[in-house]
Amino acid sequence: MKAVLQAHNLSIGYRYRQETLVRANIELMLEPGRLVCLMGPNGAGKSTLLRTLAGVQLPLAGELLLQGTPIEKLSQQEKAKAISLVLTDPVHSANLRVLEVVQLGRYPHTGWFGGMGEADRKAVEQALDSTETRHLADRKLYTLSDGQRQKVLIARALAQGGQLLLLDEPTAHLDLVHRIQIMHLLRQVAQEQQKAVVVATHELDLALQTADRLLLMPHNAHDPLAEGLPEDLVLNGSLEKAFGRPPFMFDMQTGRFYQPLPHKASVYLNGAEPARYWTEQVLRRHGIFTITDAGAANSAAAAGAATAATATAGAATIEVQQNAVGWMWHYQQGVFEQQFFSLAGLLRELSKRY
């Protein structure tokens, strides 16, 4: 597989009055057909890297090859034909229609007056189809919802062609469904059109769910960038290293960061999923840690005597059950027993005790 973009010993930063180095020694290879999520804490230099990869700003040192050619040797038009962008800049022009926006993507391919040829029309139609925005073509841009508008801006970038597609936070301000939709769309585009797609994002959940590769920029400028399969980066600790800062802890099981809370008490928690999971979540948020113990659960279910033995050890037992009406929480501590029909009710009781 031939790399779309290759960086060797790359230093990025700004030349404004004097050189400001943001990060050095970047080694990077972007291959076609892959969706790469570029992640890192604020201030790590994501935007600078993205701007450098886009050819908007020149590297301070090192080598950056776009399809084998050093990027600084390419004209703006050549770059525009190879790289297309989706930026966070708001686009609002009252009369601008969706079709016109997508057609503007053909800018580097059309003549000096912008007339559309057969190939241009085809590219525009393909872009509208693959983003499922064809039915919006005659709408004015400002009348669209945020999710639709983002799809149209992606369609514009697709119409532009080019093997490298760079997106800056394309899922910001979108609801969950649209976020997932956009990411799957990008992954599909990467695979079907053999593009290298790079998405700068802060949404770890989404990136773990959809990315082919993660590119992590650790907060510390001296730490090297980590690149790899998302799951590999979770397991080898790269993710924790990139984002983890006390007091935050990384849960390798779920791939989430959390802030440890004071430990008030521990309880046994058993029962059917998914209610058990959500019970665990709400209790943890209130400083109550849960221990899931299959043996205790069985004994609790089997006989009150056996539970009493556990209860003498001091910890309460919560048993989640599902019945015809819904979920039920059976709480027992020592001789005290009570049933709750919502987590709120259970929580009220627990907050009295702990």
Per-residue HEC secondary structure of 192-236 comes to HCCCEEEEECCCHHHHHHHCCEEEECCCCCCCCCEEECHHHHHHC
Residue 81 or 134: which CB sits closer to another protein?
A: 81
Residue 17 or 245: which CB sits closer to another protein?
A: 17
The residue ranges that bind another protein (CB under 8 A) are: 54, 56, 76-77, 79-81, 83-85, 87, 89-97, 100-101, 104-105, 107-108, 110, 112-114, 142, 160
CB of 33 to another protein, least distance (A): 22
CB of 95 to another protein, least distance (A): 4
H helix runs in 289-331, sequence order: 294-302, 304-312
CB of 120 to another protein, least distance (A): 13
The token pair at 68 is 């084998």
Query: For 244, phi and psi rounded to 5 degrees?
Result: -65, 125
Beta pairing, strands 213-216 & 34-39: parallel
CB of 18 to another protein, least distance (A): 17
Residue 160 or 299: which CB sits closer to another protein?
A: 160
CB of 107 to another protein, least distance (A): 4
Residue 133 or 279: which CB sits closer to another protein?
A: 133
Give the count of beta carbons closer than 10 Å to the beta carbon of residue 207.
Answer: 25
Residue 109 or 213: which CB sits closer to another protein?
A: 109
Nearest residue to 255 (alpha-carbon basis) of 275, 273, 233: 233
Residue with tokens 């930063």, as numbered in its chain: 13
CB of 160 to another protein, least distance (A): 6
Residue 42 or 75: which CB sits closer to another protein?
A: 75
Nearest residue to 164 (alpha-carbon basis) of 88, 78, 224, 93: 78
